[in-house]
Structure 1
Amino acid sequence: MNLKIIKHSELFSTSGQIDEEDLCEIAAAGYQSVICNRPDNEDGGRHVSSAKLAAACERLGLAFSYLPADATHLSKEHGAALRRLLVSMPPPILAFCRTGNRSTNIFRLANAAETSNLALPGGAANDKPRQFEVVIVGAGAGGIAVAASLLRRAPNIQIAMIDPASKHYYQPAWTLVGAGAYAQKKTVRPMASVIPQRAQWLQRSVVEFLPDHNRLRLDDGSLIAYQQLIVCPGLRLAWEKIEGLEQTLGCNGVTSNYRYDLAPYTWQLVSQLKQGKALFCQPAMPIKCAGAPQKAMYLSCDHWLRKGVLDKIAVEFHNAGAVLFGVATFVPALMSYVKKYRTQLVFESNLVKVDGERKLAWFDGKDGAGNIVRQQKSFDMLHVVPPQVAPDAVRNSPLANLDGWCEVDPATLRHVRYRNVFALGDVSSTGNAKTVAAIRKQAVVVAVNLLAACAGKPLSAHYDGYGACPLTVEKGKAILAEFGYGGKLLPTFPLDPVIARRTNWLLKTTVLPWVYWRLMLKGREWLTGCSDSKEQP
């Protein structure tokens, strides 16, 4: 389909002019309804008429509505009319005009209408939205930690947490699971067991942010109103961006430590491989835990070295970036392990396609002249890290920056345009490493600043970009990389940070999981002091 479709929510999209031949592909893409916003007589009626499109839609089982609008005379009546169609027509809906701009503007007018007495399909039209003092979108590490920190400071504050998941995961340990060094079952607990008791959990998904009206729309069409909003739904693993990958994940030697169900398969492959070729990949930034792709490689190589088979296994690490690690201080120490394991580093090499059955992978790289060149590689084991993007509801909302991330001030973590919106964790636009260690400090900053904002006081807590990455370079030793904005080193302990130590391994495997479950998710803020400086990073 050559149409440029803009997805504004899970339920509504817009595009430029469509023709009868486009409708089959529109239906195949999952759309149930089409709205024509282009008058039949526009430009002398040289485009397909609404009557012909209506007939073609009927043949394909698509609902069709004609809502013509002059691009220069849009009004609130157009928005109200579209709102009524959103209630009555089966979603998802595609609206079109000559360029798509008019349909988009009508949608904005529809959202600017009074939302307290209208709802999308699934909610009663006259229901008023449920209202809360604080709404937290996402109950991952960021959501639970900030809720606990808020309740620790203001026990009577009214909090709603919105997250559809039934389980909560400690993701930092999946690298260890993939190395046979940690039990998979220890990384998961029922969501109900970690939600703070004084917070109300709504087990739904947010499909639309309406920050101009202090509201959210849920996947059942209902509305939630808030006084303060905290956005922390994490990010989305975009497996689909690598051709053929989804069909072969978990079989044919293709695995990833970035998924709970696949980490054990990584260990199965590593423990069974005695000879052949192992490929490890890292996509373009940003990704969560930027050190995790190479940690999988180090721990695999360490196992093969201990078993005496490393000299029979060709190991390659394909990095879409131009450097091994973003903080230069740690690169020499990491390179010593790359040499120890005889790993071939391939920079500016991005995985774009996989054929699991044929054990082939394709990478886009650059030749000497800077031209993109695609190279085919065979493999016996392929560890994949997918591209990562903001969730659709955030990316398509007024909260997003040009890259789709929730746009906040990097120090206060308050939104740059909406004063009652804060964000933390992987979804935020801050330039720090996307790690749980970062969230541990961000949660305190958001809790302190949100309560200050409610009281009309200045925002006193400032985040310095702290993140930590225990780089597990061998089983039993790790390099503890701690740094902030601009790569500034921020070590917690008075030790040379580039030395691989057994104490760092124990910190990674024993101390930090305990801190996560027993302290961080309970609002007990260990080593989370935040700067009072007003200097911006």
Structure 2
Amino acid sequence: MDNASQSPAGLETSEPALRCQILIIGGGAGGISVAASLKRRRPELDIALVEPSERHFYQPGWTLVGAGVMSSAATERQEAGLIPKGVRWLKTAASAFLPETNRVRLADGRVVVYDYLVACPGLKLDWAKIEGLTQTLGRNGVCSNYSFETAPYTHECVKTFSGGTAVFTQPPMPIKCAGAPQKALYLTADYLRRHNRLAGANLEFCLAGDVLFGVPFFVPPLQKKVDEYGIKLNFKHNLIAVDGASKKATFAVVDKDGKSTEKTIAFDMLHVVPPQAPIDAVRDSALVNAAGWIDVDPGTLRHTRFANIFGIGDALGTTNAKTAAAVRMQVPVVTANLLALLEGKSLPKTYDGYGACPLTVAYGKIVLAEFLYGGKVAPSFPFDPRVPSRFAWFLKTTIMPLLYWHQMLNGYELDIGHHEKQFLA
């Protein structure tokens, strides 16, 4: 084992370095799935997984928790029960990446030396970047489906909303599940309609960007719902401050000439999506591109500069959607390519940028958006994905959680068979 005296500058530690063949950073959907996939195919592999949390969450379920459709308990498991047999769990976080020397420094002071690295550390939800938000989140009508703790309060806010203004925000891209901000909006609108309260509601959707959805093919059915519910769209509105006691939200608004001004909107309910960014240890490392995301080849998911490193999930600088569906398709690619690399073979698999966003436009109805790099439409099922579907709702609420817990996290491949398809306008 390497001693502290042999460590590079900045890696001083009283603990001897640990060694492993494959080091996985992150124990979320990507980390657990790739560890299970690798162990299923090569049980003898020496794998260590770095993850500080003892709890694992099915984050796609939080939209349903906020809608009162799923319990928060159904989205949570203990991390220990999900880590594959034979994988060493290092229950701490990564504090520094040193890819030039095949090392990662851990938050507890230890150093891990690896032969191969799979980086899937996720991203940072930067709640504190919005002034006043952390002091009022979870009360004063300020809610969010973006955390386990706060999603149930969203439903409480909707149930008790008796009229006035409900504001829903979306920060600058990229964010995880770019459709989630408007899922909360549509479900709220449908709930109010079903309870004869929509007429007295002023619903506003404040987006930092200038389009309703990043894949143009799906904008018309979403715009139809916006019009049906009477929702006001405020483009180029980025939430920068919240005063929960006085129920006021302040936005930085960019006009057509690029000039930014501040605008305050009074609210009775405010659903906030926090700004999102690379985690500090990733951003400050040699792994990243100019924007601070892990720089991998968009096809092979192998790092562009470090040949023994692959990446999965939200931390990547690729242009695919940051969703669990993307992770589901990235894991088999990384598994196959890493095993081929171990055997000195060429990398056999390519990721096509697949992502999916089940847009819950109403209770019981979903526009199932599936797409590839470049916004190419790639449905898995033989129906027009622009049409709100009860079948897609069944997939979202019943089938996908089961597949996540019992298939994906156990290392099984779950490609139903998506294909690029052209549709008439």
Q: Please report the TM-score for the alignment, with normalisation by the length of structure 2.
A: 0.95
Determine whether 1:410 maps to 2:302.
no
Q: Map 1:361-380 to 2 at 5 A.
A: 361-380=249-268
Determine whether 1:328 maps to 2:328.
no
**Secondary structure of 1:389's match?**
strand
Query: Is contact 2:380–2:417 with CA below 8 Å preserved after alignment?
Result: no
Determine whether 1:280 maps to 2:168.
yes
Gaps of at least 5 residues in structure 1 are 1-86, 88-112, 532-537
Q: What letter is aligned with 1:115?
A: S
Query: Is contact 1:161–1:200 with CA below 8 Å preserved after alignment?
Result: yes
Determine whether 1:214 maps to 2:106.
no
Determine whether 1:358 maps to 2:358.
no
Report the counterpart of residue 315 of structure 2 in structure 1: 427
Query: Is contact 1:163–1:202 with CA below 8 Å preserved after alignment?
Result: yes
- How far apart in 1 are the matches of 2:77 and 2:258? 48
Deviations 1:339-394 (A, max 9, x none): 11100001111111111111000111123533112111100100000110011000
**Secondary structure of 1:195's match?**
coil
Q: What is the identity percentage for the equivalent residue pairs of Structure 1 and Structure 2?
A: 51
- How far apart in 1 are the matches of 2:362 and 2:418? 32
Report the counterpart of residue 123 of structure 2 in structure 1: 235
Larger radius of gyration: 1
Report the counterpart of residue 329 of structure 2 in structure 1: 441
Query: Is contact 2:251–2:262 with CA below 8 Å preserved after alignment?
Result: yes
Determine whether 1:300 maps to 2:192.
no
Report the counterpart of residue 77 of structure 2 in structure 1: 189
- How far apart in 1 are the matches of 2:379 and 2:305? 33
Deviations 1:421-453 (A, max 9, x none): 000100011100000000001001000001111
- How far apart in 1 are the matches of 2:236 and 2:9? 52
TM-superposed deviation, 1:117: 11
Deviations 1:214-263 (A, max 9, x none): 01111121110000000001000011111111111111111110010100
Residue in structure 2 matching 1:225, options 98, 113, 134? 113
Report the counterpart of residue 278 of structure 2 in structure 1: 390
Q: What letter is aligned with 2:7?
A: T
Query: Is contact 2:380–2:416 with CA below 8 Å preserved after alignment?
Result: no
* Aligned-pair Cα RMSD in Å: 1.6
Q: What letter is aligned with 2:364?
A: G
Report the counterpart of residue 5 of structure 1 in structure 2: none
Structure 1: 4+ residue segments shifted above 2 A: 116-120, 366-370, 528-531
Query: Is contact 2:380–2:418 with CA below 8 Å preserved after alignment?
Result: no
Q: Map 1:488-507 to 2 at 5 A.
A: 488-507=376-395
Q: What letter is aligned with 1:438?
A: A
Query: Is contact 2:66–2:154 with CA below 8 Å preserved after alignment?
Result: yes
Q: Please report the TM-score for the alignment, with normalisation by the length of structure 1.
A: 0.76
TM-superposed deviation, 1:528: 6.5
User: CA 1:410–1:117 in 2, change beyond 3 Å: closer, same or farther?
Assistant: closer
Determine whether 1:161 maps to 2:49.
yes
Ranked by relative contact order (alpha carbons within 8 Å, sequence separation 6 or more), the top structure is 2
Tell me the number of residue pairs that the alignment of Structure 1 and Structure 2 aligns.
416
Gaps of at least 5 residues in structure 2 are 420-425
TM-superposed deviation, 1:514: 0.5
- How far apart in 1 are the matches of 2:40 and 2:325? 20
TM-superposed deviation, 1:114: 3.6
Report the counterpart of residue 35 of structure 1 in structure 2: none
TM-superposed deviation, 1:118: 8.7
User: CA 1:506–1:530 in 2, change beyond 3 Å: closer, same or farther?
Assistant: closer
TM-superposed deviation, 1:530: 10
Q: Map 1:57-76 to 2 at 5 A.
A: none
